[in-house]
Structure 1
Amino acid sequence: MGTAHSRCRVPGPGHVRNTVERSGLVRLSVVIPVLNEEETIGGCLESLAGLERPVDECIVVDNNCTDRTLEIVRSYADRLPVRVVTEPRPGVIWARERGFEEARGDLLGRIDADTRVDPEWSREVIEFMDAHPEIAGVSGPTYPYDVPLGDRLERSLRKRAADPRARRGRERPNLYGANMAVRKSAWQAARDLQVRATNVLEDVDLYLALKKKGFTAWYLPTMLAAQSYRRAKATPVSNLGYTMAGPRTYRLHGEYAMVVRLWLMIPMWLVTGWLIWAVLLPYDLETRTWGWRHIRNGLRGRVSPVH
């Protein structure tokens, strides 16, 4: 996975919009919003500390933590260039914006506290973005590390990533907040076009703002990361606000055709969500064991990131 991107196919003229100058030395900052993430932040930072190409900066945004999250973060100070900043306004949209404001890098990585990046992650991001200055943002695939049969999806994604053609990537009409990177210059140019409100999907909001400025985002199969499936175990009722945030985000950006498409898909999402929740209810994501004693934990909802 370490082959240089000199063999990548540069997108055609139809994809070149608002080209950003290529820098001779790319700096990568990674921003992680956190709210009571003591169970997952250690694994996230451990993966960042194990990167073959170290990140230049790791910014953890405290969004009103009351548990041991920040204590764990500070324990990595001797292994990562980690810095804690505070954003009191509740919601991942504000935490992400605060992190991007503080970041000093040319590229702004954005992952969740339960994301675990592959050792090659930073190198794949930097080399691809440096080779394609016309691309403003990039997202990669994620697979679950804490559910039954999750290893099958991992093997499938790794097989695709091993294909030399995977480094070409493809244009994608979205960005995925758990595994993405964007040029700081592009974010600054499009920032005022974001809705920047609660009850919206912050990654979709950012993508649509970039789109309005003429920027393009791509999907990179070699930008691999793992992610917890904990939100799927939260009650479907607690996830309802998150589901509804999708069409709301597109509506606020005037993307009405997409709003209709998403509304038509909501019944399928709700049914799927109930089925997955029912299957995972007696399963403990941390210990990866089955048992009826785990049902009590599965009945507790998590704080929605779009609140």
Structure 2
Amino acid sequence: MSGPRMTVVFATRDRATLLPRVLDRFAELQSPPGGWSLVVVDNGSRDRTVEVLRSYTDRLPLTALSCPQPGKNRALNAALQHLQGDLAVFTDDDVLPEPDWLVRLRAAADSHPEADLFGGTVLPDWPQPKPDWLCERAVEFSVLYAQQRRPSGACGFADIFGPNMAVRSAIFAAGTRFAEHVGPDDTNPLYAMGSETELLRRLEGAGHRGWFEASACVRHIIRPEQMEERWILNRAFRYGVGEGRHYAGRRSVGLLVRRLVYGIAARGSALLPPSPRRLRIRYRDRWLAGVAAGRPAARASPPSG
């Protein structure tokens, strides 16, 4: 049975070591009805990423593009003119999809014509056992590692995460683009997170509806350094910056007071051994600092610790 084609898109930068593992998994994907294509945008890599991509052109329906100007969303926008078919599937360069991933997304899009935005399950792929202090009682793994688990059904923009996201191509054909002032950017290590969220929030506001397909599953590779407290606190700050920008027009009652209280608590907890409570306090402190820094006229300061 044939059907409309779909295109998978992701941006990459300096991932020559990791990409073979990712692309090997893509080569094992079951082809959905109508087939699929893959567009990968190299975002100014300084390693052998381009060579790795070229080595897979005989194993994958792969088009490799170049966008040397830093910025993940700039790279994704460069890919939009190369979309084929009616469904654009976005993911990351550190994702391992299940073999039936595209088949499941295709079935969801065909079964729910009322929806234009689609999401699926995202599970962490841990490199080693987690320490006791790194747990979901302390921090949201959805923020840290893009973990997302929920039942299938109608959903809002907040239920769809970047590693497993699909949008009907007609939306981009009508002129919609990713906002280039948010998202990963090599020129700013403390960039504002939330690039996919910003797009999806905008589309939902324009009346587009979402559907979550739990059976469409990918695993998100977690690097060892992403299990260290310093990385977690930096991510908390970037997440806060993104929230501050998204809600810049609103007044946060008591933000200054909360920053003061958590700042004092964070300095005290830093003297204690690692624990879920210590991580929760220090994470909240850096998130609040990011929210303040992301507001208009605010200057982002580097995270402590």
The two structures have a TM-score, normalised by structure 1, of 0.66
Matches of 1:38 and 1:255, distance apart in 2? 42
Which of 1, 4, 13 lines up with 1:35 in the alignment? 13
Instruction: Name the counterpart of 1:178.
Output: 163
Residue pair 2:14, 2:47 contacting (<8 A) in 1 also: yes
1:48 corresponds to 2:26: yes
1:121 corresponds to 2:101: yes
Matches of 2:107 and 2:171, distance apart in 1? 18
1:76 corresponds to 2:43: no
Unaligned runs of at least 5 residues, structure 2: 131-135, 137-148, 183-190, 267-275, 284-305
- How far did 1:47 drift? 1.5
Change (3 A) 1:129 1:274: same
Change (3 A) 1:101 1:274: farther
- How far did 1:146 drift? 2.7
Q: Deviations over 1:64-107 (max 9, x none)?
A: 00111121111111111111111122111111111223222311
Instruction: Give, as a single letter, the amino acid of the residue that structure 1 aligns with 2:5.
Output: R
Instruction: Name the counterpart of 1:300.
Output: none
Instruction: Name the counterpart of 1:250.
Output: 246
Change (3 A) 1:272 1:219: farther
Residue pair 1:189, 1:213 contacting (<8 A) in 2 also: no
The two structures have a TM-score, normalised by structure 2, of 0.66
- How far did 1:48 drift? 1.4
Residue pair 1:26, 1:126 contacting (<8 A) in 2 also: no
Change (3 A) 1:244 1:66: same
Give the secondary structure class of the aligned counterpart of 1:203. helix
Instruction: Name the counterpart of 1:226.
Output: 219
- How far did 1:239 drift? 2.6
Instruction: Name the counterpart of 2:43.
Output: 63
Change (3 A) 1:43 1:245: farther
Matches of 2:278 and 2:199, distance apart in 1? 25
Matches of 2:4 and 2:212, distance apart in 1? 20
Instruction: Name the counterpart of 1:239.
Output: 235
Instruction: Name the counterpart of 2:117.
Output: 137
Superposition RMSD on alpha carbons, in Å? 3.4
Q: Deviations over 1:216-246 (max 9, x none)?
A: 1222211100111227236335435532243
Residue pair 1:140, 1:219 contacting (<8 A) in 2 also: yes
Which of 210, 216, 220 lines up with 2:209 in the alignment? 216
- How far did 1:36 drift? 0.4
Residue pair 1:187, 1:210 contacting (<8 A) in 2 also: no
Change (3 A) 1:274 1:211: same
Q: Deviations over 1:126-159 (max 9, x none)?
A: 1110111111111112112233458xx9xxxxxx
Matches of 2:46 and 2:278, distance apart in 1? 32
Identity %: 24
- How far did 1:189 drift? 4.1
Instruction: Name the counterpart of 1:303.
Output: none
> Between Structure 1 and Structure 2, how many residues are aligned?
233
Unaligned runs of at least 5 residues, structure 1: 1-23, 154-159, 276-307
Give the secondary structure class of the aligned counterpart of 1:141. strand
Residue pair 1:137, 1:182 contacting (<8 A) in 2 also: yes
- How far did 1:273 drift? 9.7
Q: Which runs of 4+ in 1 moved over 4 A?
A: 254-257, 263-270, 272-275
Change (3 A) 1:42 1:189: same
Change (3 A) 1:188 1:40: same
Instruction: Name the counterpart of 1:206.
Output: 199
Residue pair 2:73, 2:179 contacting (<8 A) in 1 also: no
Instruction: Give, as a single letter, the amino acid of the residue that structure 2 aligns with 1:169.
Output: G
Change (3 A) 1:222 1:71: same
Instruction: Name the counterpart of 1:196.
Output: 180
Choose 207-216 or 241-250, whichever is displaced more: 241-250
Instruction: Give, as a single letter, the amino acid of the residue that structure 1 aligns with 2:197.
Output: V
Matches of 1:107 and 1:97, distance apart in 2? 15
